[in-house]
C-alpha cells in the first residue's frame, strides 16, 4: 500500500496565501517521500476551500516537484465541458511527466448546480460523458493517463461503473456526530475487488502527534466551529489520531484498509496552517515507514 497526502486547500486566509501553502505542502510531501499528493475541489468557497481549479493548482505543483504523483480527489466532472476537461487533464499530465492521477466524481457541495446552470438530475449522465471524452483521442496526447483515472463513489452503481470502465475507486468517509459507516464502505470495496477492480484509494483523516489528547486539542476549536461537540466527534471515530502506534492500531482496525492500494491521508479535517501541518506530515512519514517494516522475527 502506498501512502499519499490529501488536502482541501482550505482555510480562513486569502486565496493567495492558502494556495501558496498548498503548493508548499506538496513540496514537503515529496521531500518526506510520500507517493502522491491529492487536492480536493470546492466551488464557490464551500468548506472554506480555495481549490476551485485543481488542475491549475497541480500544474503549479508540477513545476515545483519532480517525482510525487499528483491527484485530484476529485474534479466534479458534471460541471465541466467533457472535452475541455480532457484537454486540461492531458496538459497537466504532459507537463508533469506523466504524474497525474485523475480522480472524478459527481460532486456534493450545495448550490453549485444552480451557479453553473447544470441540472443535478443529469449529473451522472454528464459524468459518463466526461469518461467517454477522456478515453477518446485527446490533444495533447497523454499516454498512460487512461490507466491513472479514478472514480469517487459510495454507491453500488458507482462501483459497477468503475469496474466497467477499468477505473480505480476512491473511497472516503463522512464525518459527523454518528461517526463513519466504514463497514458499509468495506462491503462496497469488497464488491469492487471481487469484480476485478485493481486500484482502491482510501481517504482517511490521519493525524499523528505526541498523544491522542494533543491532537484532539489541536482540532477541537475547528470541530466546534463546524457545529459539532468535539468530545462526541472524536469518540465517534471520525479521525485516526494519536501517537504513531495508536494511529497504526486505528488503521489496522479499519475494515476498509485491507482493500486499499493507496492510503490518502487527509491531513486537513480542520483548518490547520502549514506550520501546524509540518509536524503532522513528519509524523505521518514516520508512521508510513514503520508500517512498511517487516514484522519482527520472534522465532
Q: Where residue 260 falls among pLDDT bands split at 50, 70, 90?
A: very high
pLDDT range class, residue 137, cuts 50, 70, 90? confident
The answer to whether residues 162 and 169 touch, using CB atoms and an 8 Å cutoff, is yes
| pLDDT score of 296 | 60
**Average pLDDT over every residue of 134-140:** 88
Q: Greater confidence, 207 or 174? A: 207
Helix%, strand%, coil% for the chain, nearest 5: 50, 15, 35
Percentage of the chain beyond pLDDT 90 is 78
Mean pLDDT of 224-253: 93
Backbone angles phi, psi at 172, to 5 degrees: -115, -160
Q: What is the pLDDT of residues 80-102, one digit of tens each?
A: 999 999 999 999 999 999 999 99
Lookup: cell for 231? 468530545
- The cell 485516526 sits on which residue? 240
pLDDT of residue 299 exceeding 60, the answer is no
Angle in degrees, 0-180, between the axes of helices 274-292 and 244-252, rounded to the nearest 10:
60
For residue 150, what are the β-bridge partners? 103, 168
Q: Residue 260: phi, psi to the nearest 5?
A: -85, 140
Amino acid at each position: 500500500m502506498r501512502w499519499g497526502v490529501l488536502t482541501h486547500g482550505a482555510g480562513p486566509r486569502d486565496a493567495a496565501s492558502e494556495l501558496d501553502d498548498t503548493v508548499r505542502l506538496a513540496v514537503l510531501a515529496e521531500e518526506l517521500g510520500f507517493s502522491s499528493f491529492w487536492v480536493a475541489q470546492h466551488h464557490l468557497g464551500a468548506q472554506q476551500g480555495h481549490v476551485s481549479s485543481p488542475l491549475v493548482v497541480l500544474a503549479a505543483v508540477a513545476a515545483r516537484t519532480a517525482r510525487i504523483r499528483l491527484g485530484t480527489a476529485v474534479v466534479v466532472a458534471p460541471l465541466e465541458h467533457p472535452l475541455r476537461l480532457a484537454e486540461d487533464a492531458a496538459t497537466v499530465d504532459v507537463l508533469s511527466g506523466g504524474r497525474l492521477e485523475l480522480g472524478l466524481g459527481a460532486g456534493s457541495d450545495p448550490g453549485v448546480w444552480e451557479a453553473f446552470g447544470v441540472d443535478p438530475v443529469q449529473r451522472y449522465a454528464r459524468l459518463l460523458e466526461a469518461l467517454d471524452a477522456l478515453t477518446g483521442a485527446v490533444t495533447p496526447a497523454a499516454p498512460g493517463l487512461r490507466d491513472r483515472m479514478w472514480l469517487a463513489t459510495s454507491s453500488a452503481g458507482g462501483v459497477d461503473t468503475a469496474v466497467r470502465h477499468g477505473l480505480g475507486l476512491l473511497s472516503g468517509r463522512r464525518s459527523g456526530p454518528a461517526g463513519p459507516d466504514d463497514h458499509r464502505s468495506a462491503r462496497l470495496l469488497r464488491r469492487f475487488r471481487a469484480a476485478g477492480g485493481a486500484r482502491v484509494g482510501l481517504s482517511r483523516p490521519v493525524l499523528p502527534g505526541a498523544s491522542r489528547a494533543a491532537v484532539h486539542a489541536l482540532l477541537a476549536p475547528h470541530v466546534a466551529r463546524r457545529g459539532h461537540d468535539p468530545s462526541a466527534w472524536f469518540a465517534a471515530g471520525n479521525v485516526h489520531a494519536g501517537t504513531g502506534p495508536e494511529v497504526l492500531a486505528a488503521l489496522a482496525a479499519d475494515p476498509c484498509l485491507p482493500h486499499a492500494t493507496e492510503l490518502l491521508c487527509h491531513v486537513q479535517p480542520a483548518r490547520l496552517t502549514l506550520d501546524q501541518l509540518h509536524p503532522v506530515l513528519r509524523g505521518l512519514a514516520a508512521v508510513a515507514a514503520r508500517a512498511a517494516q517487516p514484522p519482527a522475527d520472534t522465532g
